[in-house]
Structure formats: structure tokens, C-alpha cells
Chains A and B, each alone.
Chain A
């Protein structure tokens, strides 16, 4: 599947297109298919997101997983600071990145 990501313009936070808006949770990301460029252009124009771009990902029973490690680090947070990730109480969540 193809999902859309970017950084929130104001906060810089990593965000994912959920079909209606931007979510902090990669699991909310939806397949944008061929619409990535159109959504990206309109959302950037609306100043809701900074430099959005499409990436490859898969969805399985555990949720959405970006194909590339860089995007998985973006999705969860720095592996060296589990306390600052989106799942600070689940240190094993870092295994999902590598």
C-alpha cells in the first residue's frame, strides 16, 4: 500500500494521512493509491502539513508498517529514547522498527 506522511507545519510532528486529516499514529494511515500527489498538494496548500510525500508500507495484523526503516523510526520515535516514543510504556515496540 502507499501511504502519505509529512510533518505538521506548526509543531514539526510526524503525521500520517488518515483519509480525512492527519494523525500522529501510523496505524491510522490509509492507502492513498494514485491520489498521493493530489492530497499532498491540497494539504500543503492548506498549511496543514509540511513537505508531504508518499511511501510504501504494508498492513498486517499488527497494523501499518512502513517499508523503510527510516519511516519506521519516524513513525515510532527515536529508538534510543523509548520514553519519547509514541509507545513509551511498550519498550518491545522498538523491535517493530528493526
Chain B
């Protein structure tokens, strides 16, 4: 993985001292909260329901054991012994003290981490495929390109005050594991008919109150123009994006209102203008980055393992992904125990995951946007030992992509923007389905819960989505069906009037029963929904 050079380290260290001074001046009353707020947000420090919350960037979700150990130490030293892995492959701490924030950031910097640009109207942490560099189905490893864009977008003076926040995802497989087309810019590394590697650009996607699927604006951008084209996309947005209304300020609104064709025309015009201006880093730069993401020293070994333990076999079937080296798999550590809080991990669990990464995965971990952790390179011969250790720590839930693998935002339990609680719903739904024994029978079923219209829980992209709303001071939940964040991307549609908490849990079960009764052989929930439509579900829910 990428290692800071002296310049990177100096930049981050300088920023830590700058923020330490800003916080000190705030505590001394030399600057007001209005003056301080944009400064702390630029460093990932929010004021949430119960305390300050710090969001730490994990570039494209990749981290090493030392970094995971440091995240655990921070949970113990500055928080209350746990952290929350997010849908942008980051981690958040919920109980940070302002007077300690500078020390915390200094500790992060020691392991080449920071919280810069994890908030504010700038380019946020770049996300990617959590199986990057390991998946059997990828064209190339997308992370060198994500890293190039990370370096380009960090402290980019032109894009620090965009009309609104800006999120970029980079993938390099036909299977989309990063919700690529639901980003402001989605980039897919592709090969053209001539066999050249380049980038397909999708611009103007997003969730939130106005969900949009990004249209393709360019089928193929040569890799030696990747940064320039990205900059052209940003520049047109920065010029025309609305700054008068934050609800209409995202690039998706601009692309929608301007029209994808006109937006693309302006991007191409800007791009042509920029091509000879030396914006693009030399190709040598990407070649400099590539070795950081070189394959570890894989060794040939067994291609299969003893599956006589049915619990182990189930975990292997559900929680591992095919690796490009046939003696390895990528193993998913579920942070979704039945009745647990999706994405939360204790300091002890983080330390254990770091140790297991060191022992079994070349010291590498990934954070998934589905709030789980990946050990990307696990020898098949080590799988049973890994699973045994995970089981003992409550991290062995065999539920990847099942109805128990629920994405849930922090919701009203933590978030000042939320209208309703998300986590208790996730806990009760996972308990209901685990108790009924239907989880396996239901197969792949992605359930996503957001506590407000900002959609951090990705409810628009859920096969089943739940949105919490405030109905005259009480929590109410809208159910939606048919969304997908994957390569078959779609936005979910609302079933009808909302439910209270107990009602929406029953409604989820009703919907799954309709699916089980109507499905054809081999159909996922989403396939059946697409074949039979909304009507049978609505009839069962409301008639």
C-alpha cells in the first residue's frame, strides 16, 4: 500500500499543528464558533448529538495492521473503546473532546493517517472496490489511480470551496462493489477495443434527497489524461453549480438540470482547453505509485479446504470472495453480529483484526462500504484458523450480503441530522430473521437503512430500503424496494405509506414472504421484484 514520502508527512504534520492552534484559539475565545466551524469540519470534526465526532479518512478503504492498531488505541485513549466503520470506508469516533483533538490527530499522523477533507464542501475520501488488488474479476488494481486522484484532490486550491461536497469512486471490474454510479464522479478502469487501458467516466450520481444514477459522460479517457479530465469535470461544476441552495448544490442537480449532453459538451470544451496546460502529472508518477500496490509474495498452496465443519463451510461460502491467485481468497469479517450495531468494532476487536491481518493477510485490511472488514489475501490453507479466531471474538458471523448484513447509518442515536433511529431497527430485523431461520433461504438480500433523507445508509440502493422520517415528533419508516448499488444499479421505489418501528419490521417480513412464494429457481429478491413488479408487494402490505 502507499507509503508517505517526506512531503506527505510534512503536509499532514503541519496540518495537525495548524489545527491544534485553531482549537486552542477557539478554547481561548479568540475565534467564535462561526469562525471555527468550517476549520474543524475541514479536519473531520463535527459536533454531533452527544459530543464532537471525528471522521478519519481511510483512503479507498485500505489500511495496514499498524494503522488498525492505532485506530484501536485511539478508541481507547480518546473515545469510549469503540469506533464506527462507515459507508464511505472511513471510521468515526463518537465521543471526542475538543481539547484532545490535536493530540488525537498527531497520533493519527504517526501512522500516516488524517481526517483532512472528511467533511466540508471539498473532494472527500476517494472510495474503491474493497477487493481491489485481490479480486479474480478485476481488469487491473484500481488503487494506484485512486491514489493518484487522492494526491491530486488533497488541498487542491481550486476545489476546497466547491458548491457542495464531492465524492469519487474508482473501480476496475465489471462487478461494481463500490456503488460507483451513485457517486459525483464514478470512474471505471476499462480496456478499449485496441486493448488500451483507460477510464470510463460517469458524472452526476448520488443518493440524498434527490437520488440520481450517474450518466456516462465519456466512454474512454486515456490514462495519461485521467487527472485532466477529472479536473475538467470539477471545473464545470465549480463554475455552474448552485451556491444559493444547498439542496440543489450537488453536481447531480447541475447535470440533471443542464442535461448530461450539455454538461458533457462543456467538460469536453474545458478538457480540450486544458490539455496543453500541463495539468496532467507525467505517466512516471503513476509508475511511481504502482509498486506500492504490487502483489505480495503469494505462494502456491492448497486450492480447497476441509469443509467437514458445517459452520465453517457456511462461513466460507458466504464470507469469502474469489481471489486472482487460486490458493487464496479474500475473507470478509462481518461487523454485523445478530442484534449488533452495524459497523461498530471495539478496540479489542480492532486489535484482533490487525493481528489477524498480520498473520494471515500480508498485513493488509480493507473497509467495505457495507461496514464490514476484509482481509484481502488469505491462503485457503489458513482459512480454518482464521475463522476459529474470528468466531472466538464474535466476528465470525456468516452473513455477507444476506438480510442480516444490514447497512445502517448512525441515525438518531448519534447524528444531529437524523429524524429517526436506524440502528435499533437493524438490530431487531437481524434478530427476527436469525430467529426465523430464513436468512439462508432468502439468499442475497441487501437491506439498507437511513435515519434521514441524506441517505448515509444508502436506502435508495437497497433491495429493501428503509428511510426514517419524523412524523409529528414520532419515528416513522418508509419502505422501498428494488434498489441496487451494484452493476445492475437502480433506485428503490417507495411502497406506500410509512410504518412505525414494529410495523416496518413486520413489513420487511411480509415482503420477503412474497418473494419466497413468487421466486423462480435461482432468482434473488431483486430479480423477482424486477420480474413481478411492485404490485404484489403493495397488495400484501396495504390491502
**Known pairs A11-B98, A80-B413, A80-B423; A68 contacts B473 (CB<8 A):** yes
Chain A: minimal CB distance from B29 (Å): 5
**Known pairs A73-B412, A79-B424; A10 contacts B99 (CB<8 A):** yes
Residue of B26, B28, B341, B413 most packed against chain A (CB within 10 A): B413
- CB-based contact B50/A77 at 8 Å: yes
- CB-based contact B47/A67 at 8 Å: no
Query: What is the CA–CA distance of A80 and B29 in the complex, to the nearest angstrom?
Result: 35
From B47, B418, B424, A7 is in contact (CB under 8 Å) with B47
**Known pairs A69-B473, A80-B424; A10 contacts B414 (CB<8 A):** no
- CB-based contact A78/B475 at 8 Å: no
Report the interface size class on chain B. 20 to 34
Cβ < 8 Å to A, chain B residues 459-489: 473-475
- CB-based contact A47/B27 at 8 Å: yes
- CB-based contact A12/B412 at 8 Å: no
Residues of A within 8 A of B (CB-CB), count: 25
- CB-based contact A51/B33 at 8 Å: yes
- CB-based contact B98/A9 at 8 Å: yes
**Known pairs A73-B413, A74-B49; A10 contacts B33 (CB<8 A):** no
- CB-based contact B50/A47 at 8 Å: no
Scoring A residues 22 to 60 as 1 if CB is less than 8 Å from chain B, else 0, what string do you get? Answer: 000000000000000000000011010011000000000
B97 lies within 8 A of chain A by Cβ: yes
Cβ < 8 Å to B, chain A residues 60-89: 67-70, 73-74, 77-81, 84
* Chain A neighbourhood of B28, CB < 8 A: 47
- CB-based contact A14/B50 at 8 Å: yes
**Known pairs A10-B98, A12-B97; A74 contacts B50 (CB<8 A):** yes
**Known pairs A10-B99, A12-B52, A78-B413; A69 contacts B47 (CB<8 A):** no
Residue of A50, A51, A78, A81 most packed against chain B (CB within 10 A): A78
**Known pairs A10-B27, A10-B98; A50 contacts B412 (CB<8 A):** no
* Chain A neighbourhood of B80, CB < 8 A: 84
Query: What is the CA–CA distance of A10 and B27 in the complex, to the nearest angstrom?
Result: 7
- CB-based contact B98/A80 at 8 Å: no
B233 lies within 8 A of chain A by Cβ: no
B421 lies within 8 A of chain A by Cβ: yes
Query: What is the CA–CA distance of A68 and B98 in the complex, to the nearest angstrom?
Result: 27
From B99, B421, B473, A79 is in contact (CB under 8 Å) with B421
**Known pairs A47-B29, A74-B49; A10 contacts B474 (CB<8 A):** no
* Chain B neighbourhood of A98, CB < 8 A: 475
A93 lies within 8 A of chain B by Cβ: no
* Chain A neighbourhood of B96, CB < 8 A: 12
- CB-based contact B341/A80 at 8 Å: yes
- CB-based contact B47/A50 at 8 Å: yes
- CB-based contact A67/B473 at 8 Å: yes
**Chain A residues near B (Cβ < 8 Å):** 7, 9-14, 44-45, 47, 50-51, 67-70, 73-74, 77-81, 84, 98
List 16 interface pairs A-B (beta carbons < 8 Å), by A numbering: A10-B97, A11-B98, A12-B47, A12-B51, A12-B96, A12-B97, A14-B49, A14-B51, A51-B47, A69-B473, A69-B474, A73-B413, A74-B49, A74-B50, A78-B414, A80-B341
- List 10 additional contacts besides A10-B99, A13-B50; criterion CB under 8 Å: A10-B27, A11-B97, A12-B50, A13-B51, A47-B28, A68-B473, A70-B416, A79-B413, A79-B424, A84-B80
**Chain B residues near A (Cβ < 8 Å):** 26-29, 33, 47, 49-52, 80, 95-99, 341, 412-414, 416, 418, 421, 423-424, 427, 473-475
